[in-house]
Structures are given as C-alpha cells and as structure tokens.
Amino acid sequence: MPIAISLRNISKRYRLGTVNQRMMLDDLRGWRDRVFRRGKPAAAAPPAATPEFWALKDISFDIKKGETVGLIGTNGAGKSTLLKLLARVTTPTTGEMTINGRVGTLLEVGSGFHPELTGRDNVFLNGAVLGMSRGEIESKFDEILDFAELHQFIDTPVKRYSSGMRVRLAFSVAAIIEPEIMILDEVLAVGDLGFREKCLHRIEVLASGGQTGLFVSHSIGHVSRLCSRVIWLEKGTVRMDGDTDVVCEEYRKAQIIKLAVHSPSHSAALHLAGESKNSAYKILAVETRDGQGRPAGRFRTGEPCRIAVKYSNNFHLEQAIDKVTLRLSILNEQGNRLIGLDSSLVKPKLIPFPDTGAVCFVIPKLPLMEGTYSFSLALSVNGELIDKVIPDAFFLVEDGDFYGTGRAASPSFTPLCVDFTCYLEGERNPAYKILSLETRDIHNRATSSFRTAEPCCIAVKYAKNFPLNEEIRKVTLRLSIVNDKGIRVIGMDSSLVKPLFVPFPDADTIYFELPKLPLAAGTYSFVISLFMNAELIDEYVPDVPLTVEDGDFYGFCRAALPFFAPVCVEFICYLEGRKGLHPPMRGYLEGEEIPAYKIQSLETRDIHNRATSSFRTGETCRLVVKCVKTFPLAAEISKAKIKLLILNKEGVRVLGLDSRMVGGSLEPFPDQAAVCFMLPKLPLVAGSYSFSLSLMINGELMDTLKPPEFLLVEEGDYYGTGFLTPAAFTPCITDFTCHIEEWKSSVFPPDGLSNDRASLPAEHG
C-alpha cells in the first residue's frame, strides 16, 4: 500500500522565551560576525543564554494511504507540533518528511473566514486555501451546502453568522472537499451535539472510504471510535505505536498511574481563602470518600461514592437562614458538567445549617465511566449565591461492573451509566430475576446426573433488577421438578420450611437440599417461580436437565421400578402398631446452620458381615452406623461418639450402647465413617426392635436418626444348652451360672439381675 505520510528522524527545536526579545543590534552583530569572521564560530556562538526545547525528538513513522491514525499524549507531548509540521505550518529542525497528497486541516475551524464575505465566497476562499481549484469547489458546492444546512444564509456575510453556523460551514468545507490526508485537532469539542455527531459520522464514513486521516484528541473515546491505529507521543518521542485498543489501554493505565503518583491527596484545600471575604460562608475543601466513609481518590464505576464538602463561616448573617442550597457539579476532563447534584432536590432546606461543617453527597452507584473528574461547587444561602469555587481536587474512576452483570460498559459508547432494564413489550419486567439454577452433589460439585437417594442440592441464583416500590414482607420460592412427560413430580415451596425469607438480599443464592433424592430413574426439568408479597414476580424455566439413574433409596439394595414409583417416598411397611416417618426436605439460605455430619444409615449384619435384619437370640450381630460429612467443620474434631439405642416394639429402651462406654476411640473421625457396634451374642429375646442413633462431635449433638431398619429376633439358644430361651419368661437375657454349693449359709445367688459385664464369656453351670 502506498505511503501517505513518511517521517524520518524528525526533530523540532524551539528556543525558549528569547525569540522576539533579541535586540536588532544583536542580530546585526551576528550577521557582521558571520560575514567578516567566517571560520571563527566560537566567537559568534552566543553563550547558552537561549535555553532550547525539543518539542519533537527523532520521530519516525509511516502512515499508509487509507489508514486512520490517532495521536494521543498528554499536554506538551508534541502532538500539536507534529500536526503543525504535517500541515506545513512550520518546518522541522532536522529530519525528512514526505507527504503524498493534499493535506486538509481543521486545525482551528473557521480561522480562514473573512467576516465581510458571504458564506458562498468564504466557501470558495476556504477551499482555495485548502488547495482546491475553483472548479472543484463548484462541483462540491451543493454538497457542502447540504451538509452545513445553511441554504438560506449562504449569501449573508459571515460576520452575521452565529459561531455555530461558522463552525458548521467550516467543517462542511473541510469534510466535503475530501482532502487526501485529513488532519483534525480536537475540533469535535465545538458545535452542538447533533452536528458533532454528524461530523463524527462523516469522519467515520471518510475513514471507512479509504481516507487517510490523522486525529489528535484527548478523548480516548473519539480516537478509539475513529482510528484503527494509535500513536502515543510522550515528551516528543513515540512511546507506543500500534493497534488502537492496545495503545489506548496502555495509555489509560499510564495516565492513571501518573495521576495516582502525582496526586496522592484526594482532597484539596482551596487556595481561595482571601478571596471570598465578604461572603458569610465559604467552601473550604472537598473530599471524596468510599462507601465506608474512608477518604479515597479512586473509584470503580458502580461503586458507592461520597463527596464531603467542608465549609466554614466568615461572619454571622444578619438575617435568619431559612434555606441553604449547595450545588455540586462533577466535570469531566474537558470541563463539561456530567452530573449536577443540587442539595435542594433531595433535602430542600438543609437547615439548621451549622457554622462549620460538611455537606455530604452520597452516590450509591457511581455512574461515571473511567476517567478523571473534577468538581465545581456553588453555595447559596436564602437563594443568594454566597460562594462558588472550582477546587483543584479530582478523582479517578476505573472500569467497574455497574450493572452487576460482570460486564463493564464501553466508555466510547456511554458517558454515564444509568440503571435501566430492557425487555420486549408485553414481557414481564420483574423487580427480581432468577438468573440461574445449578444442581450440585454432596461435595458441592455442579453436576446434573444423580442416582436415586443421593443427596442433591439445587442452587438458585437471583438478582435484583430494580428496586421494588413496596416493602418486601414475604418471599416465596417455588421449585417444581417436572418429569419428561411434563408432569410435576415434586413441588417444593420454600415457605413450608422457611416462611418469610426476609430480609431478602439484593442478590444471593437460595439452596434447596434434598438429602435423599426421591426421584426414580429418568430425566427431569425444573420450573422456578418467585413470589414476593404473594405476587408472582418471576418465573424461570432453566435449561438445566436433571438425569437420575437407578439408586438404592431404601437401603435394601433394590432400586425402585420407575414405571411403578415415579417418586420414592420414605416409607416403612409394617403391621399395625408402628409409626411412619416424614421424608426430610429442607430449604435454607447459604450459610445457615446445618449439621456438619449426618448419620446416613444403619445396617444390621450377621457374623459373616451379610446384611440381614433377622437374627436369633444369642447370634453374633453387627450394627454398622454410617456417617457422612455434609460440610467442613470449622473446629478440629477432638471427640466423637455415637449412641445407639435399641427399642422394643413398645418403644421402650432395652439396650443402650455408647461408643465411649467400651473405650472405643473414634478419632480421627473420617469424612465417611462406618462405625460398627458388635454384639457377640445378641441378648435380645424374640421380638422386633427398632433403633435410635445420635452422633455427638466435640460434645455437641450433630445429628439424630431413627433409622427405618428394624431388627427381627427369633428364639435362639443363648446359653448353648440346646434349649431355646423363652421370650415370655424373660424380657432380657444375661449370663448367669447356676450350681449347687456346700450348705454354708442360707444365701442363694441372685436371680435375674443384670450386670454390666456383658462382654464376659459365658460360664456354664
């Protein structure tokens, strides 16, 4: 691609201060020296009385035809000098510069206009100054006129134009005549908004149409909108040259670092103490603070921001103060007011107004985009302006997540963030929105495939869309699980287990935990509805399926048949006289108290470690209690114990086994513990028995469980004598001996009393 602009080692030197102050005599002497004492430069060289300033140092770059390049840099970086060189207004001190094509410049719009000439004449004159021939201008004249929208004034002298009309005309000339290389220097700060947008659009059209362009701007927004490449000048040298996004990002970072270094103070005392003597009050300082009230100079978009304006009084006002108004403006880098906060809008009178104090403005969500901002303040008392200052305090704003969606707004698109929602007409516009649903397993890992009876946790995330006018008194979340035929198989209503859910945070996660997933194998989906004050706020059908595979819900190593039982419910099946159990179901907010360890099940096993529930009296019986961890315990486990009670069918405790009683140490307690109680000889008489379990950790009751398992005991030969122990005679069996002793006394061994030595081997009499 042909080169439009080529710069090779361009430098530009300025002599500071002295240029016009040299006396004519000095010059004459200089000339005389040069003419008569050639070859003695030492004598002619003036002492270092003229300090030099290199506005540009060794700049080299090429701009190809059709490229639009932005020039950025702080004040004094050499941007304007470079533009002047390119516009051929001034010459480089050293180096070589080639420009292919006519340069059109808008360095200062309208400076070429002569006030006495009509608009038409000025268009021609301006075009001619830009190097156009008369014929060329004539052929473009109508287009210029259309763009400027000045048809009826075109034959009026320009001196009668408003400044806006002049700008429009001047830009139109420059924009329409299509110079091959277009140079723009911060022109877009002028004109009304509509025309500015039109200009930007025109430049975009030109840029996309292969126009070579060079734009200088302080506004990264404009540059990134118009340019594909950016050259960053710093102190007269090229600091960075490359892709717009990369350079702009680096530049922005550097600016922020620089500002942060240069101004550690985020508040500024005003240097205006002596100037407002005759006003009753004066503004002393302004300070920016973060959400916690600590002084801060840097904020993120969307963060809370407080601005404290300190004032004091000079003298007492004669009249009574009945109204005080403080107006705070936040200005952007160009000095344009972006936000105007008028205290009277939210606090009409601001009285009583103390003699000294501070007026605080709180912005809950800072709507400003990244950049530096300054203030302007005006204090009025009784409707009269008392003090007006523009402090030299400023604060920085960085990219932030204003909308809580994890995305930052683009500064080139929006200058200010405002809360808004967007929805199709007729759609619901909920105040709170359910964002997502996630299913998690026992280890809190996201998964969508479960087995029947596995613990399953359903996490529902929600967030506030906009504030609700009314007070939130009750929140209900209804979670339905629907099978593949569209039939609701489970409906969980949070109000059943957690009635109110207030206070309701703006954004949080609600958990539904099913300790044992009661669903038969199949695929399921969810429907969530959120009710607020008994009103449906949002309904959400997540795109998250739930796959359930066969699992052993009842602990009998048997899976339920899906076609028979769509949902497994805890049940026991017994002959008259027994109690049923409620299926457990809980809904709770994250962080709520739930047991760290849970007793999951109890298994009864025979001597060969086979699961069975029927025993004979005197057989070896193992009782295995399975415990699982549900979430990590903060404290270390120093003491764990399990109590196992065996109850007879009347619900009366017949045996109580405490793991501590036999000295069994359960520490360290594993995450999944199977604690085995072994009874070498089952001391129960025939009958059916049930259990009750409790788990204590560090002396604290963790969980209790009345497992559905029961124990069926038949008559057996406890004593190994070949006789069955009759249940009707003794409710409890104990080891005893019976023999004949010498007649020494009338004392007979006691009968039917149990002792604690259950583990002693039986003696046979």
Partner 1 sequence: MSEPSSVSWKYTTNRGSIMAGLREIWQYRDLIALSVRRDFIAVNSQTVMGPLWYFIQPLITTVAFTLVFQGIANLPTDKIPPFLFYMSGIVVWYFFSSCLSKTSLTFTSNSSLITKIYFPRLTIPIAQTILNLWLSLVQFIIFLGFYAYFYWNGAPLHPSYRVIIIPALILQTALLGMGVGCLIAALTTRFRDLQMVVSPAIQLWMYGSCIFFPRSMVGEQYQWLMNINPVVPIVESFRFALMGQGDVEIWQWFVSLAITLILLVVGLWAFKRAEENFADTI
**Cβ–Cβ under 8 Å, residues 712 and 615:** yes
- Per rule CB under 8 A, is residue 24 in the interface with partner 1? yes
- Per rule CB under 8 A, is residue 129 in the interface with partner 1? yes
- What's CA 62's distance to the chain center, in Å? 42
Tokens of 693: 């379990």
Cα separation of 149 and 194, whole Å?
Answer: 12
Choose between 89 and 497: whose C-beta lies nearer to partner 1: 89
- Helix (H) / strand (E) containing 167: helix 163-176
CB of 134 to partner 1, least distance (A): 5
Only one of the segments 107-115, 472-480, 687-695, 703-711 lies at the binding site for partner 1 (rule: CB under 8 A); that segment is 107-115
CB of 217 to partner 1, least distance (A): 18
Tokens of 682: 């089952």
- Per rule CB under 8 A, is residue 143 in the interface with partner 1? no
CB of 89 to partner 1, least distance (A): 5
- Per rule CB under 8 A, is residue 32 in the interface with partner 1? no
Alpha-carbon torsion, ordered 627, 630, 631, 637, to 10 deg? -10
Q: Pick from 114, 349, 473, 764: which binds partner 1 (CB under 8 A)?
A: 114
**Cβ–Cβ under 8 Å, residues 359 and 311:** yes
Choose between 103 and 560: whose C-beta lies nearer to partner 1: 103
- Per rule CB under 8 A, is residue 588 in the interface with partner 1? no
Q: CA-CA distances (angstroms) from residue 38 to 23, 29, 111?
A: 22, 13, 44
For the residues of 498-542, what is the DSSP string, one character each? SS---S--SEEEEEEEESS--BPSEEEEEEEEEEETTEEEEEE--
Q: CA-CA distances (angstroms) from residue 30 to 21, 44, 51, 53, 176?
A: 15, 7, 18, 22, 49
CB of 165 to partner 1, least distance (A): 19
- Per rule CB under 8 A, is residue 22 in the interface with partner 1? yes
CB of 125 to partner 1, least distance (A): 5
Only one of the segments 40-48, 92-100, 212-220, 591-599 lies at the binding site for partner 1 (rule: CB under 8 A); that segment is 92-100
- Helix (H) / strand (E) containing 24: helix 24-36
What single DSSP character describes residue 416? Answer: B
Residue count, binding to partner 1 (CB under 8 A): 46
- Helix (H) / strand (E) containing 7: strand 3-15
Only one of the segments 18-26, 30-38, 496-504, 607-615 lies at the binding site for partner 1 (rule: CB under 8 A); that segment is 18-26
Which residues pair with residue 382 across a beta bridge? none
**Interface of this chain with partner 1, residues 156 to 175, rule: CB under 8 A:** 157
CB of 132 to partner 1, least distance (A): 7
Cα separation of 514 and 230, whole Å?
Answer: 58
Cα separation of 507 and 303, whole Å?
Answer: 16
Q: Pick from 16, 89, 273, 607: which binds partner 1 (CB under 8 A)?
A: 89
Only one of the segments 109-117, 562-570, 641-649, 663-671 lies at the binding site for partner 1 (rule: CB under 8 A); that segment is 109-117
CB of 103 to partner 1, least distance (A): 7
CA contacts within 13 A on the Cβ side of 569: 10
Position 216, amino acid: V
Q: Pick from 50, 54, 61, 97: which binds partner 1 (CB under 8 A)?
A: 97
- Per rule CB under 8 A, is residue 14 in the interface with partner 1? yes
Residue 264 has φ and ψ, to the nearest 5°, of -65, -25
Choose between 49 and 652: whose C-beta lies nearer to partner 1: 49
CB of 13 to partner 1, least distance (A): 9
Only one of the segments 103-111, 162-170, 290-298, 516-524 lies at the binding site for partner 1 (rule: CB under 8 A); that segment is 103-111
**Cβ–Cβ under 8 Å, residues 286 and 377:** yes
**Cβ–Cβ under 8 Å, residues 423 and 429:** yes
Cα separation of 200 and 219, whole Å?
Answer: 13
- Per rule CB under 8 A, is residue 662 in the interface with partner 1? no
Tokens of 478: 């209804």
- Helix (H) / strand (E) containing 248: helix 244-262
Q: Which residue has the tokens 């403080």?
A: 326
Q: Pick from 178, 234, 241, 399: which binds partner 1 (CB under 8 A)?
A: 178
- Per rule CB under 8 A, is residue 759 in the interface with partner 1? no
- Per rule CB under 8 A, is residue 29 in the interface with partner 1? no
- Per rule CB under 8 A, is residue 180 in the interface with partner 1? yes
Choose between 100 and 704: whose C-beta lies nearer to partner 1: 100
Cα separation of 606 and 681, whole Å?
Answer: 11
- Per rule CB under 8 A, is residue 87 in the interface with partner 1? yes
Only one of the segments 113-121, 300-308, 345-353, 367-375 lies at the binding site for partner 1 (rule: CB under 8 A); that segment is 113-121
Only one of the segments 125-133, 264-272, 592-600, 672-680 lies at the binding site for partner 1 (rule: CB under 8 A); that segment is 125-133
- Per rule CB under 8 A, is residue 84 in the interface with partner 1? yes
- Per rule CB under 8 A, is residue 91 in the interface with partner 1? yes
Choose between 147 and 395: whose C-beta lies nearer to partner 1: 147
Site string for partner 1, 39-78 (x = CB under 8 A): ----------------------------------------
Choose between 211 and 690: whose C-beta lies nearer to partner 1: 211
CB of 204 to partner 1, least distance (A): 18
**Cβ–Cβ under 8 Å, residues 617 and 682:** yes
Tokens of 759: 């583990």
Strands 614-616 and 710-714, sheet pairing: parallel
Choose between 93 and 529: whose C-beta lies nearer to partner 1: 93
Nearest one of 727, 730, 761 to 616, comparing CA atoms: 727
For residue 591, give every residue at least 6 positions away whose Cβ sits within 8 Å of its Cβ, in sequence order, or none: none
Tokens of 27: 């010059």
CB of 429 to partner 1, least distance (A): 52
Torsion sign, CA atoms 248, 252, 257, 259: positive
Nearest one of 598, 605, 593, 609 to 672, comparing CA atoms: 598
- Per rule CB under 8 A, is residue 111 in the interface with partner 1? yes
Choose between 18 and 730: whose C-beta lies nearer to partner 1: 18
- Per rule CB under 8 A, is residue 26 in the interface with partner 1? no
Burial class of residue 343 (count of CB atoms within 10 Å of its CB; 0-12, 13-18, 19+) = buried
Only one of the segments 123-131, 259-267, 508-516, 670-678 lies at the binding site for partner 1 (rule: CB under 8 A); that segment is 123-131
Cα separation of 323 and 344, whole Å?
Answer: 9
Choose between 114 and 349: whose C-beta lies nearer to partner 1: 114
Q: Pick from 82, 99, 368, 379: which binds partner 1 (CB under 8 A)?
A: 99
Cα separation of 210 and 201, whole Å?
Answer: 14
Q: Pick from 59, 82, 130, 602: which binds partner 1 (CB under 8 A)?
A: 130
Strands 52-64 and 68-72, sheet pairing: unpaired
Q: Pick from 94, 163, 614, 665: which binds partner 1 (CB under 8 A)?
A: 94
Only one of the segments 122-130, 248-256, 316-324, 642-650 lies at the binding site for partner 1 (rule: CB under 8 A); that segment is 122-130
User: Which H, E and C letters describe 195-208, residue by residue?
Assistant: HHHHHHHHHHHHHH
- Per rule CB under 8 A, is residue 202 in the interface with partner 1? no
- Per rule CB under 8 A, is residue 595 in the interface with partner 1? no
For residue 395, give every residue at least 6 positions away whose Cβ sits within 8 Å of its Cβ, in sequence order, or none: 266, 288, 296, 297, 298, 299, 372, 373
CB of 238 to partner 1, least distance (A): 19
Q: Pick from 70, 79, 120, 124: which binds partner 1 (CB under 8 A)?
A: 124
- Per rule CB under 8 A, is residue 638 in the interface with partner 1? no
Q: Pick from 32, 40, 60, 90: which binds partner 1 (CB under 8 A)?
A: 90
Write out the residues near partner 1 by the rule CB under 8 A: 14, 19-20, 22, 24, 27, 84, 87-103, 105, 107-108, 111-112, 114, 116-117, 121, 124-125, 128-134, 136, 157, 178, 180
